[in-house]
Amino acid sequence: MRDNPLERLLFDDLPEGNAGPALASPSPPADEPAEWSDDFDLIVELVGTKAAFRIAEAFAGSSVYIPKTIMKHKEYHEIRGRHRAGATYKELSGKYGYTETHIRNIVHTKKLTGGKK
């Protein structure tokens, strides 16, 4: 179970180490031209057709800004998981390029990823 609601939203329905099922891109009806962008094709490729259309339903017609810090959330989540699985602060420090003190802060302080301590 994920500790942070944002992490649950982002990662729970993706298989571990996989960006989702590889499904064929949907085709528009023969009498209608395709009106989705190359960006949408990339989204389909990354997360699968079903998830891409869920994203489209939620954000159709709008511009969506995805901050770079979202990757920090994912990395911090991985660090916490590896620590729970038995990795030491020193091992995590070497793998992720942070000081041991920063690894301890990541593991023990939810504030670093927007959650509650």
* Mean pLDDT, range 60-76, rounded to an integer: 87
**pLDDT tens digit sequence for 41-66:** 899 899 998 998 999 899 888 888 88
Is pLDDT at 17 greater than 50 in this prediction? Answer: no
* Mean pLDDT, range 84-90, rounded to an integer: 96
pTM of structure: 0.47
Is pLDDT at 27 greater than 60 in this prediction? Answer: no
Hey, what are 57's tokens?
């339903």
Average pLDDT, the chain: 77
Residue ranges of the domains in the chain? 15-59, 69-113
Provide the H-helix boundaries in the chain.
5-11, 38-47, 49-59, 69-84, 89-96, 100-108
